[in-house]
Copies of this chain bind each other. A is one copy, B any other.
Amino acid sequence: MDHQIQLTERKKVLLSTIIKDYINNVEPLGSRTICKRHGFDVSPATIRNEMAELEEAGLLYQPHTSAGRIPSDQGYRFFVNHLMAPYVPTPEEHQFLSRLQQTSKAVDAILSHSIRILSKATHSIVVAEAPTLRQTPVKGLHMTPIDDTSMVLTLTYSNGIQRQSLINLAQPVYSDMLSMLTNYLNAHLGHTLLDELFHKMATFPLEREIQYYKNAVLDMVSEIYSHVQREEKIYLSGTSHLLKEPEFQTTEKAYPILQFLEHDTFVRQLLQSVAFNAPPESEVYCVIGNENSYHELQDCSLIATRYYIDSKASGMIGVIGPTRIDYPKVMSLVQSVAGSLTQVLTKLFT
């Protein structure tokens, strides 16, 4: 963390200036340029000394000796946590985002539309989850075998919603096994999130007489889990924006990211992992550069937040851009869009 880093006021201004300049110009910044371009009233030499110290603190780095400085991931993190001024959307952006209000009545269309708007407003890639009940505790569950290899899973959530899904399994279902699992889970359920539920399923203590089902149960549970997950659609928009970014001009740089985005599973995991990496009180999550665990996205940042449908369901929506993405602006726009989305969807379901 960066809480122990203490900077003088001047260092803060300097860091802030470097980051804002770099976000726009995408070129290493030297001491002379900083003085001239941003009207500092000290000499380049002073700036040099300050920058050397900022580099020592890990907030800046040089791509090579005798080049200007570039903000490091930690530098951005400090900026986002402590320096950033709130962004006020321009009138054009405001007007642009207002198009979110007049939308159709299908959730799918609303989401598609929203991510396209956000993508256009930020000139970046946008990803979103379809609304899920993953954040809502499960009150009860029921599994009914249909035939040899298929079953219906019914989940009852704490807010009263029920969800059913037809699941085809690779191997035969044993109905006694099913009912035993069901009973056990319902007895030990409490208020459990779906993910925890599956964890319970997988570690469920088999009684002696059905011990030899062990592997069958595990297979089944993991299959059900992946089935339930697969149902949650991923929305993606604006991937081609990436190719316009100076840092992704070579196809070797851009390829891994586009490749990554083609796998819904990865994107889903990424979105679901966001909340763990960031302080829970924050409204808009930032995952900066290397903070995420996917090496394909090392040079990217994700700015995401959650939208809600009333208390019924929710989903993540986020923007992916280069590490030097315009944090204040994008965070503000993401929040606006998620807000409108919450509003529109909630109105739709009441």
Contacts and interface: CB of A to CB of B under 8 A. Distances in A.
Interface of A: 104-105, 166, 168, 237-240, 243-244, 248-251, 254-255, 258-259, 261-262
Contacts of A250: 251
Nearest to A166: B105
B262 A238 contact: yes
Nearest to A119: B262
Contacts of A261: 240
A272 B295 CA distance: 40
A253 to B, nearest CB: 10
How many copies of this protein are present in the complex? 2
Given A239-B239, A240-B261, 9 more contacts: A104-B168, A237-B262, A238-B262, A239-B258, A240-B255, A240-B258, A243-B251, A249-B251, A251-B251
Contacts of A258: 239-240, 243
A258 B262 CA distance: 13
A168 B239 CA distance: 30
Nearest to A150: B105
Which of A104, A243, A254, A259 is the most central at the interface, judged by chain B CB atoms within 10 Å of its CB? Answer: A243
A308 to B, nearest CB: 24
Contacts of A262: 237-240
Contacts of A237: 262
Nearest to A260: B240
A243 B238 contact: no
A254 B244 CA distance: 11
A259 B254 CA distance: 15
Contacts of A255: 240, 243-244
Nearest to A257: B240
A153 to B, nearest CB: 15
A337 to B, nearest CB: 18
Contacts of A248: 251
Nearest to A252: B243
Contacts of A244: 251, 255
A237 B254 CA distance: 17
24 contacts: A104-B168, A105-B166, A105-B168, A237-B262, A238-B262, A239-B239, A239-B258, A239-B262, A240-B255, A240-B258, A240-B259, A240-B261, A240-B262, A243-B251, A243-B254, A243-B255, A243-B258, A244-B251, A244-B255, A248-B251, A249-B251, A250-B251, A251-B251, A251-B254
Contacts of A166: 105
